[in-house]
Structure 1
Amino acid sequence: MIESVSRSAPALVPLFRSDQQLRLLGVLFTDTGDELTIGELAERSNVAQPTASREVARLTEHGLTITRTIGRNKFVRPNWSLPWAPELRSILMQTVGVLGRLGEALSSMKGVDSAFVFGSWAARYGGEPGPCPSDVDVVVVGEAALRSVRKACRDLEQDLRVEINPIVIDRASWDSNAPEPLIAQIREQPLVPISIEVESGT
């Protein structure tokens, strides 16, 4: 269910006004950078459309985004003319942008059923207070080769400037009612799903 109630500033990046604002900015500044309708932005960021409209109005008022209206649709795009836009993008890439980039990398890989971020990064993302995570722990569920997953993560580390620690667990072990201690420990922690696009027929 998409949340419509505003949540307090996220523990992952507490300088932003709210969790919804962080997610909206994350989509705008770390995805393709394309102009989006409010509906598209709301869907991609998992924010209710009325909330997205209010947040975009605030962001536009303060110059972070640029909007225009065509017919009944309002379009929004990031304001790249801001002198600190690259720095903002860097912050977002290293926080909420991590999920999108991991999703892109893992979607092109065979044998990935699902994937999650766990550990301290997931805890901060979920709102638990604490120090800024120095790395990102990733669990990939499926039959993907660990070597391939590690290579994909290494390729991202330099761009994101954060260490990524992946592990691969087969589906049967992950779904087991009596999992191994490591798997049980991971499943008991906060888990943040990574959006994976699986091609049909694969």
Structure 2
Amino acid sequence: MQARSRLLPLLRSQLLGELLAWICLHPESSYSVTELAQRLGASQSTVSREADRLVEAGLVREVRRGNLRLLRFESDNPLARPLTELMALTYGPAPVLAELLPAVDGVAEAYIHGSWAARYAGEAGPPPRDVDVLVVGDADDDELADAATAAERLLGREVNMHRLSTEAWHSTAGDPFLTSVRSRPIYPLVKPEASS
């Protein structure tokens, strides 16, 4: 049994929040169950069961192409706009930033930390008011600021970018900021093996 969502407690699981956010915040795209399972780190059968419920509720449209099952957000549903806003405010940082940051040259790794990552990890507390992002690498600060602004428009909240060099991130020196970040939950956006 999956843990109940702390980002949006009315959801029965984290996976449902992640699935809804990804589909809601990419309404122009269709995704296979296999692709969504890989993206969300879940089994195909679990994603398929959640998708069945969303299709039945009229929140997701399903198209079959042979054995391929494609899912797309049902933007004509009367719940579409408020659900998209709710997903952007709760689970939105992960899919939005995971798309924006890899496009910025020099991003070797990136993580969400702070209150959003803590709620995602299941820690109790109030809803996060902002999103704290740690970027590792030599990305240009202006490009990171542009990515933060684009994310803020989509998420409806402040996005704080903090950039560190790769050497500083992997250092064992007692930097108070790094000690604080490392002692709390973090959510990976750009993993080292995914960087170029």
Whether 1:92 aligns to 2:94 is no
Q: What is the match of residue 185 of structure 2?
A: 190
Identity %: 35
Shift of 1:100: 2.2
User: What SS does structure 2 have at the residue aligned with 1:194?
Assistant: strand
Change (3 A) 1:165 1:82: same
Q: What is the match of residue 164 of structure 1?
A: 159
The letter of the residue matching 1:141 is: V
Q: Quick one: distance in 2 between partners of 1:121 and 1:59?
A: 25
Shift of 1:8: 2.7
Shift of 1:75: 2.2
The letter of the residue matching 1:149 is: L
Q: Identify the range of structure 1 (130-139 vs 24-33) with the bigger mean alpha-carbon deviation.
A: 24-33
Q: What is the match of residue 25 of structure 2?
A: 30
Shift of 1:119: 0.5
Q: Quick one: distance in 2 between partners of 1:51 and 1:149?
A: 35
Contact 1:12 1:132 (C-alpha < 8 Å) held by counterparts: yes
Q: Quick one: distance in 2 between partners of 1:120 and 1:21?
A: 20
Aligned residues: 194
Which of 144, 167, 170 lines up with 1:149 in the alignment?
A: 144
Which of 101, 108, 115 lines up with 2:110 in the alignment?
A: 115
Q: Quick one: distance in 2 between partners of 1:151 and 1:116?
A: 17
Structure 1 segments unaligned to the other structure (5+ residues): 1-5
Whether 1:66 aligns to 2:65 is no
Whether 1:137 aligns to 2:137 is no
User: What SS does structure 1 have at the residue aligned with 2:10?
Assistant: coil
Query: C-alpha root-mean-square deviation of aligned residues, in Å?
Result: 1.8
Q: Quick one: distance in 1 between partners of 2:89 and 2:186?
A: 18
Whether 1:45 aligns to 2:40 is yes
Q: Quick one: distance in 2 between partners of 1:23 and 1:150?
A: 25
- What does the per-residue CA deviation read over 1:183-202, in whole Å, with 9 as the maximum and x for residues that have no partner? 1111111000113664x5xx
User: What SS does structure 1 have at the residue aligned with 2:190?
Assistant: coil
Q: Quick one: distance in 1 between partners of 2:75 and 2:190?
A: 26
Change (3 A) 1:111 1:35: closer
Which of 95, 101, 115 lines up with 2:96 in the alignment?
A: 101
Q: Identify the range of structure 1 (27-36 vs 132-141) with the bigger mean alpha-carbon deviation.
A: 27-36
TM-score by length of 2: 0.90
Contact 1:99 1:195 (C-alpha < 8 Å) held by counterparts: no
Q: What is the match of residue 173 of structure 2?
A: 178
Q: Identify the range of structure 1 (182-191 vs 153-162) with the bigger mean alpha-carbon deviation.
A: 153-162
Shift of 1:32: 5.1
Structure 2 segments unaligned to the other structure (5+ residues): none
Q: What is the match of residue 57 of structure 1?
A: 52
- What does the per-residue CA deviation read over 1:3-29, in whole Å, with 9 as the maximum and x for residues that have no partner? xxx413210111222111111111211
Q: Quick one: distance in 2 between partners of 1:154 and 1:46?
A: 28
Shift of 1:104: 2.6
Q: What is the match of residue 3 of structure 1?
A: none
Shift of 1:51: 0.3
- What does the per-residue CA deviation read over 1:121-163, in whole Å, with 9 as the maximum and x for residues that have no partner? 1001111111001011111111123343223212321332101
Contact 2:148 2:161 (C-alpha < 8 Å) held by counterparts: yes
